[in-house]
Amino acid sequence: MYVGAHESASGGPYTAVERALDDECEALQLFTKNNNRWTQRMWTEEEAAQFRQHYAKSGLKGVMSHSAYLINLCSKTAKTVEKSKVALADELTRCAMLGIPYLVLHPGSHTGQGEEAGLRLIAENLERVYETEEDGQWQDVTLLFENTAGQGTCLGWRFEHLADLFERVFDPTRFGVCFDTCHAHAAGYDLTERESYEAVWQEFDAIVGLDHLKAFHLNDSKKPLGSRVDRHELLGEGEVGLDAFRFLVNDDRFADIPAVVETPPLESGEDSFAEMVALLKGLRA
C-alpha cells in the first residue's frame, strides 16, 4: 500500500506534489479545482505540464483527485443535476490534462426519491456525461465511487449500492471503488478485529469484487460503528483504531494501491499529514 495524504493545491496543482514530498508521502490526493464551487477557469496547458513534470520527478507512486462536494447526479432538483453533469465532465478533463488516473466521486444523495431511483439516475446521468467525451479524452481516467457513511439520503454506504452501480453503468471498466475506512465503519462494516476485518473483505469481494478496488481513504472515525455519521478522526484516536490500519498496510491484496489520509488537524492546529503518514509507515511489519 502506498500511503499519503490529501494535500492542498493552493498556489496551483503542482504545489500539492511539493507538500506531499514535505510530508514524506508515497501517494497523493488533491482537488483539481475549488471543491465548493461549480465553476473555475480551466488550467492552461502550461500549468498542467508543470504538474505532470513535478509528479513525474517526485517518486510518488499514486495520485488521485477528489471531485467537488457539490456534484449530485441523483438530486431531485433538475438544475443541480444539470450543473453536476457539467462539473463532472470538467473534472474528468482536468484529471486527463494533469495525467491523474483516478477521480473520486461520492455516488450521490437521492434527496427523497428512494435508493432504487437514485442509483438508476446516477448510472443514467453518468452515461449522459460520457456522451460528451471528445475523442476518448478521458480514457486514461477511472472514476472511483467512494463508499459513504450513509448520512441522510447518501447512496454508496452499502456494498450492494456499489455493486448495483457497476451493474447499471454503460461501461464498468471505466469505474472503480475508493474505500474510505471512516465511512465503512460509520456504515456498520467492522474492520477493528482480525476476524471481522476478514469478513468485511469477503463480503466486499462477494458483492462488489476486489478487482474494482483502486484506492483507499484511511481515516479513523469519531462516531461509532453503524452510526451513519461521517466525522473523520486522527488514526488510532477514533472508533476504528490502529489494528485496522495495521491489517490494511500489511495486506498483500492492497500492496499496489494508493491510500491517503483525510484526517483533521492536530491539537496544535497544525495539519496532521506528516504524522499520519509516518504512523502508517510505522505499522508495516
**In the complex, which residues of this chain contact Zn ion (CB under 5 A)?**
180, 217, 230
- Is 262 annotated in some ligand binding site? yes
Which residue, 54 or 223, has its beta carbon nearer to Zn ion? 223
Shortest Å, Cβ 207 to Zn ion: 20
Shortest Å, Cβ 208 to Zn ion: 17
Which residue, 97 or 213, has its beta carbon nearer to Zn ion? 213
- Is 6 annotated in some ligand binding site? no
Which residue, 217 or 246, has its beta carbon nearer to Zn ion? 217
- Which residue of the chain is nearest Zn ion when measured via CB? 217
- Is 195 annotated in some ligand binding site? no
CA atoms within 13 Å, Cβ hemisphere of 279 = 23
Which residue, 90 or 180, has its beta carbon nearer to Zn ion? 180
Which residue, 97 or 184, has its beta carbon nearer to Zn ion? 184
- Is 185 annotated in some ligand binding site? no
Q: Report the DSSP beta bridge partners of residue 152.
A: none
Shortest Å, Cβ 94 to Zn ion: 19
> What CA–CA distance (Å, rounded) separates 121 from 243?
38
Four-CA torsion 58, 180, 43, 109, nearest 10 degrees: 180
- Is 54 annotated in some ligand binding site? no
- Is 161 annotated in some ligand binding site? no
Shortest Å, Cβ 216 to Zn ion: 9
Shortest Å, Cβ 120 to Zn ion: 24
- Is 180 annotated in some ligand binding site? yes
Closest Cα to residue 243, out of 167, 186, 150, 181? 181
Find how far residue 197's CA is from the centre of its chain.
20
Residues near 179 by beta carbon (within 8 Å), at least 6 away in sequence:
146, 147, 204, 213, 215, 216, 217
Residues making up the annotated binding site for Zn(2+) are 66, 106, 146, 180, 183, 217, 230, 232, 262
